Amino acid sequence: MNAPWKSGMAGNRDPFMAFVCDDLTLDVVRSVCEEMGWPPEKGGKGGLRNAIQSLSVSASPQILLVDLSESGDPIHDINSLAEVCEPGTVVIAMGQVNDVRLYRDLLLSGLQDYLLKPISPDALRDAISHAQMTLNAPKHDDGAKAHQHVSVAVIGSRGGVGASTIATSLAWLLSDRMGHLTGFLDLDVHFGTGALALDLEPGRGLTDAIDNPSRIDGLFIERAMIKANEKLSILSAEAAISSPIMTDGAAFFQLQEEFRAAFEHTVIDLPRSMVIAYPHLLNDVNVAIVVCELTLASARDTIRILAWLKANASHCQTLVVANKVSTSALEISRKDFEGSIERKIDLMLPSDAKVTAQAAKLGKPVVEAARSSKLASGIASIAEQLKNAAPEPSQSDAKADAKAAKKASMLDGFKTLLVKKPKSPAA
Ligand SMILES: Nc1ncnc2c1ncn2[C@@H]1O[C@H](COP(=O)(O)OP(=O)(O)OP(=O)(O)O)[C@@H](O)[C@H]1O
Ligand SMILES: [Mg+2]
């Protein structure tokens, strides 16, 4: 049986054992062992295979370090290890493969962490102290029923269409008005406005998470997130413009996992550039809200984003919201826009600069600053629709070919629109 590891049943076991594949790693492991006051021979050679053999006949340690370098099928081998490893052991793996999918799958198999070789003493010390924190953390009630979780991503089809305005208001509604424990993840790492809109300091939580994905756990979430109201916590950043995002996306995966455990709803302000760089971000999202404007550029990019979602995140329920809709001087009519994207717009939100300015001045989301406005009630109806969102796990993306063909036909529709575009501005 592949029993997931559970922390906190340490008993009288060895505090640490390591099974590594090469001398260089063994030296690092033994020197850190000595620092920790553990016998250096607790670090031995043999890798994962030896770990399985050894643990099938002896008690498991509190912390187990295994080297996957010689494993042809790490996930399979880790599952074999789970069969012989007693519950309560915190397992850290290391290997030479730098692949976020492997990292994700290993964590799903119950590993605490995956270290990339060659490992440094610092990285190993960090991983061990993190494992010790897990062992010492207060235990959750294992009998408690897992709660349902709905994750919502808000994606603007163009810059400035109002995606963050809607995301912030949604998070507020779900938490303050509907009473759900909600986590707001502002993934606009450099220019995010989630904290600003709620009159909060963004803090360093998100940048710390990106820099140290292995530190992300329940405790980290509790400490790094900023409370916006009793039920709403926000994780955001205002990263220096000179600091590009340096991550393979592992941090975002880990954050989503922790949000799933800690909250009933996750709202992600998801810039479209992040979708390109980290497509796996959508894997665990239940509802994708694509915010657009009734413009040609927005029609083109809404088509492309919807096609991408169909091909790569077909499990997502998709809502199309047209924002900043004015009663006059529309670049494209609703009918033409819908014809172009080959589906209905789910919701039209009015342009109302007075309301958004008022919200900005008060440092409150639109739905709080101007509760009775049409804009606020429109956003509230999105929150209502989320009630029907099924928190289903990801499904297969087997129909990719058909979807690519569909995408081509949608872009053809868009070209027809271009032909219809008036040469001079409409009167
Ligand atoms: N319905 C609306 N009517 C008028 N102004 C609006 C409306 N929605 C948003 N705005 C304003 O548009 C501006 C851009 O909004 P916001 O930051 O939410 O857009 P965004 O899509 O997140 O932009 P970015 O691409 O920079 O992330 C803000 O000043 C906001 O107040
Ligand atoms: Mg934004």
pLDDT tens for residues 50-82? Answer: 898 888 888 889 999 999 999 888 888 888 888
Does 125 share its domain with 165?
no
Instruction: Give the pLDDT band of residue 155 (cuts 50, 70, 90).
Output: very high
Instruction: Give the pLDDT band of residue 380 (cuts 50, 70, 90).
Output: very high
User: Are 311 and 272 contacting, i.e. CB atoms less than 8 angstroms apart?
Assistant: no
Does 111 share its domain with 202?
no
Instruction: Give the pLDDT band of residue 298 (cuts 50, 70, 90).
Output: very high
The stretch 387-405 carries a mean pLDDT of: 47
**422 part of a folded domain:** no
Does 132 share its domain with 165?
no
CA of 353 to the centre of ligand 1 (A): 9
- Among 105-114, 256-265, 415-424, whose mean pLDDT is lowest? 415-424
Does 67 share its domain with 186?
no
**Counting Cβ atoms within 10 Å, is residue 23 exposed (0-12), middle (13-18) or buried (19+)?**
exposed
Does 101 share its domain with 213?
no
CA of 199 to the centre of ligand 1 (A): 16
Residue 146 pLDDT more than 70? no
The CATH number of the domain holding residue 187 is 3.40.50.300
The CATH number of the domain holding residue 123 is 3.40.50.2300
Does 112 share its domain with 186?
no
Does 254 share its domain with 335?
yes
Q: Which of 154, 155, 164, 270 to mutate to test the pocket of ligand 1 (most atoms within 8 A of CB)?
A: 164
**309 part of a folded domain:** yes
**390 part of a folded domain:** yes
DSSP-assigned beta bridge partners for residue 67? 94
Tally of domains within the chain:
2
Q: Which of 356, 368, 382 to mutate to test the pocket of ligand 1 (most atoms within 8 A of CB)?
A: 356
What residues contact 180, with CB distance under 8 A and at least 6 apart?
174, 231, 263, 264, 265
Among 104, 136, 168, residue at a domain's last position: 136
Residue 399's domain spans which residues? 150-416
Output the DSSP codes for 160-197. TSSHHHHHHHHHHIIIIIT---EEEEE--TTT--HHHH
* Shortest-distance ligand to the CA of residue 197: 1
**426 part of a folded domain:** no
Does 94 share its domain with 215?
no
Does 98 share its domain with 158?
no
Computed over every residue of the chain, the mean pLDDT equals: 85
**11 part of a folded domain:** no
pLDDT, position 227 = 92
